[in-house]
């Protein structure tokens, strides 16, 4: 045939089929032409079958294309029946273009996945992801190093190396962080988050070695502490040494022997008494300072129990009731929701709260309309918080950076131990104590568990 389009080919077959059907009906009316009618009928059936299979090629082609997409078989192409007409050729071309786009997209996806995998393997933070059954979905080389294993399939295998680390990884809540000492060179900060993929829940763990930073911070902390200790001790020792020398001179110059006894003038006696009283006062001050340092360095290990936050704040409020009444401050306390609980050492946490509330009351002494709020709540990270807010004079920016340094204080009669001690207690509870302040507006301390 000289026709080269799909439509013309189909039209010719339909016309031929119509002619054959008409001829078949015509021959069937003549009893003498039954044989010819049968032959024409068989030929008509053959044409119908050929037309069916001819058209079915398009359906088969579409089915093969969809199966190629379904099973990601983008290698096969469509061009074998281009000679059947322009329609087939255009359809084949469209299919090939779509498959090529899929091939390109899959190639880019694989390259992107390989890139991300390389990044995950090369970063210095340990990454670990596992499902609710503990099956490992993702782990990088750093995490394997921290877990002390070259290969791992289920999180339960970690318990064979370290039961403590296994408990931390399984029990840590999304949004929380924990510390774990792996060895002398590795102190791990462990953070957790939760992911939902394809309806399944996964926990993503990051593990970072903070030992170098801790060592650097420890050196800086000791330098600051040494500077403060030197300053405070010198403030006490210098006048004591000076007064001792002065008293010695008084004794040498004014103490005179007479009849086997030593006499000294009334004025000299007064000077000696005044000097000795000063030495005594400075000595007691130094002893008090050393006691404060001892308190800071000997905090007992917390004995945690489940504490009802509402009852805790109510008890602290009752303990501070007399000071609140004397200061005439407007004091409010709330817990939202009322059912909040924390795991903590009740005596240590009470100590922190009493210190913070006392500081807040003192901060609003000279403020008109003094207000202090004590609040228990849950923050955006789903962590339980206790906030102590006051509308006092605030803390200057330069002081805010040093407020938690031991022995640093902005008060005339302060020891500089309270806030440093409070932060240390919170750290022992795997929590934090932070401060936000704006001069002449407010100060707010936040305890996070």
258 CB burial (10 A radius; 0-12, 13-18, 19+): exposed
- Other beta carbons within 10 Å of 178: 17
Rounded Cα distance between 404 and 423, Å, is 7
Packing angle between helix 34-70 and helix 6-28, nearest 10 degrees?
A: 150
For the chain, the domains span: 6-105, 123-209, 214-297, 305-448
For residue 177, what are the β-bridge partners? Answer: 191
82 within 8 A of 89, measured Cβ to Cβ? yes
193 within 8 A of 175, measured Cβ to Cβ? yes
Q: Residue 446 has which token pair?
A: 């936040």
Cα 29 to Cα 25, 35, 193: the distances in Å are 7, 12, 85
* Tokens 């932060």 found at: 423
Q: Residue 397 has which token pair?
A: 């920016």
289 within 8 A of 232, measured Cβ to Cβ? yes
For residue 138, what are the β-bridge partners? Answer: 129
Q: Where are the alpha helices (DSSP H) in 151-265?
A: 163-171, 211-254
Counted residue by residue, the chain has a size of: 449
DSSP code, position 127: E
DSSP code, position 135: B
State the pairing for strand pair 371-378/330-335: parallel
Rounded Cα distance between 277 and 295, Å, is 27
> Which pLDDT score is estimated for 334?
94
Rounded to two decimals, what is the model's pTM? 0.45
Rounded Cα distance between 284 and 160, Å, is 55
pLDDT along the chain (449 residues), means of 10: 53 80 78 77 81 70 70 64 58 73 78 76 84 87 85 85 86 84 81 84 87 70 68 69 77 70 71 77 69 63 90 89 86 93 90 89 87 92 92 83 69 64 86 89 92
CATH of the structural domain 123-209, one choice from 3.30.930.10, 1.20.1440.230, 3.30.450.20, 2.60.120.10: 3.30.450.20
Buried residues in 151-174 as b, exposed as e (16+ CB within 10 A): ebeebeebeeebeebbebbeebee
Q: Residue 12 has which token pair?
A: 């010719």
CATH of the structural domain 305-448, one choice from 3.30.565.10, 3.90.76.10, 3.30.70.20, 3.40.50.12160: 3.30.565.10
- Other beta carbons within 10 Å of 182: 17
Query: 448: helix, coil or strand?
Result: strand
- What lies within 8 Å, CB to CB, of 395 at 6+ separation is 403, 410, 435, 437, 439, 443
> Which pLDDT score is estimated for 407?
60
Order of strands across the sheet with 330-335?
A: 330-335, 371-378, 384-390, 442-448, 432-438
Rounded Cα distance between 141 and 156, Å, is 18
204 within 8 A of 194, measured Cβ to Cβ? yes
User: How many whole angstroms from its chain centre is CA 196?
Assistant: 16
Cα 241 to Cα 237, 245, 289: the distances in Å are 6, 6, 18
> Which pLDDT score is estimated for 3?
36
Rounded Cα distance between 171 and 240, Å, is 56
């Amino acid at each position: 045939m000289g026709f080269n389009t799909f439509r013309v080919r189909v039209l010719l077959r339909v016309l031929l089929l119509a002619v054959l059907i008409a001829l078949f009906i015509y021959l069937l009316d003549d009893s003498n032409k039954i044989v010819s009618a049968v032959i024409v009928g068989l030929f008509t059936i053959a044409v119908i079958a050929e037309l069916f299979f001819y058209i079915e090629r398009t359906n088969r082609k579409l089915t093969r294309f969809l199966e190629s997409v379904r099973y990601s078989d983008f290698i096969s192409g469509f061009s074998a029946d281009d000679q059947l007409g322009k329609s087939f050729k255009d359809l084949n071309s469209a299919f090939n273009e779509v498959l090529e786009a899929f091939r390109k997209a899959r190639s880019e996806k694989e390259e992107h996945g390989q890139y991300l995998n390389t990044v995950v393997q090369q970063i210095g933070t340990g990454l670990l992801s596992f499902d609710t059954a503990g099956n490992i979905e993702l782990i990088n080389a750093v995490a394997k190093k921290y877990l002390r294993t070259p290969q791992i399939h289920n999180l339960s295998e970690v318990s064979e190396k370290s039961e403590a680390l296994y408990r931390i990884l399984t029990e840590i809540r999304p949004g929380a962080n924990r510390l774990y000492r792996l060895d002398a060179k590795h102190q791990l900060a462990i953070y957790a988050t939760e992911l939902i993929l394809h309806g399944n829940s996964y926990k993503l763990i990051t593990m970072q070695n903070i030992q170098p930073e801790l060592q650097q911070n420890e050196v800086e902390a000791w330098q600051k502490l040494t500077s403060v200790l030197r300053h405070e001790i010198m403030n006490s020792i210098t006048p004591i040494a000076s007064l001792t020398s002065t008293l010695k001179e008084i004794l040498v110059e004014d103490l005179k022997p007479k009849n086997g006894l030593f006499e000294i003038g009334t004025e000299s006696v007064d000077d000696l008494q005044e000097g000795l009283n000063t030495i005594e006062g400075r000595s007691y001050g130094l002893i008090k300072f050393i006691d404060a340092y001892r308190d800071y360095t000997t905090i007992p290990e917390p004995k945690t129990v489940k504490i009802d936050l509402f009852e805790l704040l109510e008890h602290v409020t009752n303990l501070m009731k007399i000071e609140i009444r004397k200061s005439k401050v407007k004091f409010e306390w709330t817990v939202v929701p009322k059912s909040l609980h924390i795991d903590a050492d009740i005596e240590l946490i009470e100590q922190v709260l009493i210190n913070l509330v006392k500081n807040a009351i003192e901060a609003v002494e000279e403020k008109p309309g003094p207000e202090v709020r004590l609040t228990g709540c849950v923050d955006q990270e789903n962590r339980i918080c206790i906030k102590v807010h006051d509308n006092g004079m605030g803390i200057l920016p330069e002081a805010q950076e040093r407020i938690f340094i031991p022995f640093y204080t902005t008060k005339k009669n302060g020891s500089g131990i309270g806030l440093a001690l409070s932060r240390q207690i919170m750290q022992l509870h795997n929590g934090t104590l932070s401060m936000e302040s704006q001069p002449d507006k407010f100060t707010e301390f936040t305890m996070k568990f």
